[in-house]
Amino acid sequence: MALFRRAHTPRNAGAVRWFFATDVHGSERCFRKFLAAGRTYQASTLILGGDVAGKAIVPLTRQDDGRYLFRRHGRDEFVTATHLDATLEQLKDSGLYPVIMSGDEVARLGSDHTYRTRLFERLITEQVENWCGLAATRLEDNIRCIITPGNDDLWCLDEVLRKAERVECPERECISVGRLVLASLGNANRTPWDTEREFDEEELEAQIDQMLAHLDNTARLVVNFHVPPYASGLDTAAAIDDQFNVVIKNGRPVESPVGSTAVRAAIARYRPVVGLHGHIHEAPGVWKNGRTVCLNPGSDYASGVLKGALVQFDADGRYLSHLLTTG
C-alpha cells in the first residue's frame, strides 16, 4: 500500500497568517475586535493600516431636567443620566467622540478652529493611548501588532504609537516579519478634503523609493500602503465638484479611480507579493497585478463591523491565499 501513498509536505505546513484591517476611524468596537483577531483567526501578525483616528465630536449638553441632549442621524435625542453611559459607548463604537459640554463651549468649538483642533488632538491622543494600553493587556506574547497611520491621522499619532509597549509603528520603514519584509506608508496622494498627510505623486514616489530601493530581493516583500494603486478597482470613488457634491452626469454619479499612480508604479517596479491597502472604504476587493495580490478589505466602521483580510503565507514567505472577512 505504501506504493500508493505519496509522501509530501502540505502546502500550508508551517504557514503563517496575517490579519489586516484598516480605516477604523476611532471605532472602539472595531479596535477591540482588531485585538481579538489574533486569537479568533489564529493570526500571528495583526496590521492596522491607517486612518485610526475618528472624525467627529458629538457634543452632549445637559438640560435643565437633568437629561442630555445630542443629535444623532440628524435628529435630536435626549438621554437620561441612567442611560448615559450606554449611549456614550454606542457613540464611541460608531467612531464618534462624545463629549459632555456646555452650550457656550459648543458654540466656541463651532467658531474657534484652533480650540477645536486642540480638542480633537486631545481626544484622539487619549483614545490611541488607551488602545495601546489595551493591546498590552490583551495581546498574547506571540502576536505582533503593527499599527501605521493613514492620511486622516494627525501627525501627533506617530509618537503615541511609537511609544507603545506592544505596538509597532514602522511608518515609512521596512521591517522583518518572519521571513517577510513589510514596508509601510500612510501618506496619500491629493484628495479634495486636504487631509493631514497628502503629497504630490512625485513626492510619494520618492518616499516609496527611499524605502524600497535598497532591497536586494522583493520576493518576500509586502507593502502596507494606505492608498490603493491607481485604477485598480480598489480605488473607485465618485468624482466631486468644488462644493464637495458628487458630480452627476446623464443621471448617474461620475465615478473615477482616485488611487495613487506612484503606488501603482511602485507595485509594477518592485513586484511585492502582497499589497495591503485601504483609504477607499467602499471599494473593497482584490486586484492582481503580475505576482502581486493587492487587497482592500474596505471599512464599515460606523456599523461596528470590522472588515479585514487574512493573508496566508507558506513557511518560506510565499503567498498562499487570502480571505476577506467581516467580523
Partner 1 sequence: MENVATPKPAAGAIPGCDNADSGLLVRKSSGLVREMGLRQALAVNIAGVNPTGIGFFFFVILQGFPGTDLTLPIVIALVGALVLSAVYSQLIAVMPRSGADSVYASRTIHPAVGATVWATVISFGVNSAVFGQQYFPFVFQTLGEVFHSHSLTTFATTLSGKTGALIVGLAVLLVIGALMTRNVGTIGRFIFWSFIVATLGALILIVEFLLHGHGAFVHAFNHTVGAPTAYTQLVTAAHHAGVRTGVSSSAVWSSLALTSVLFVGATWANFSGGELRRPGRNYRISTFAGLAVMFVLFFLSWVTVEHMVGLSFLQSSAGLSAVNPAAYAKAAGSVTAYLPSYGLLVAGDPVSKILIAVGYAAGILGLEAVFALILSRLLFALSFDRLLPTKVADVDRRFHAPLWAIAITMILGTAAHVLTIETTILSVFRNAVLITFATFTIAGLTAAILPYRRRDLYQLAPRMTGPDVFGLPMVTIVGSLTALYWGFLTYLAAVKTQVNGGYSTASVISLIVMALSGAACYLVSRWWLRRTGLDLHLAMQELPPE
* 237 counts as binding partner 1 under rule CB under 8 A: yes
- Of 136, 175, 213, 246, the one binding partner 1 by CB under 8 A: 246
Q: What part of residues 72-131 is at the interface with partner 1 (CB under 8 A)?
A: 72-74, 76, 90, 93, 96, 106, 109-110, 113, 116-117, 120
Interacting stretch for partner 1, rule CB under 8 A, among 169-177, 216-224, 262-270, 318-326? 318-326
* Size of residue set near partner 1 by CB under 8 A: 81
Report, in Å, the least distance between residue 282 CB and partner 1: 4
Task: Report the nearest approach of partner 1 to the CB of residue 134 (Å).
Answer: 11
The residue among 152 and 168 lying less far from partner 1, judged by its C-beta, is 152
Task: Please identify, using beta-carbon distances, which residue of 21 and 212 lies nearer to partner 1.
Answer: 21
CB of 299 to partner 1, least distance (A): 8
Part of the chain binding partner 1 (CB under 8 A), chosen from 54-62, 140-148, 158-166, 268-276? 54-62
Closest CA to 220 of 185, 187, 182: 182
Closest approach of partner 1 to the CB of residue 24, in Å: 12
Write down the least CB distance from residue 247 to partner 1, Å.
10
Q: Which of 52, 128, 132, 152 binds partner 1 (CB under 8 A)?
A: 152
CB of 152 to partner 1, least distance (A): 5
> With binding defined as CB under 8 A, does residue 166 bind partner 1?
no
Residues 204-223 that bind partner 1 (CB under 8 A): none
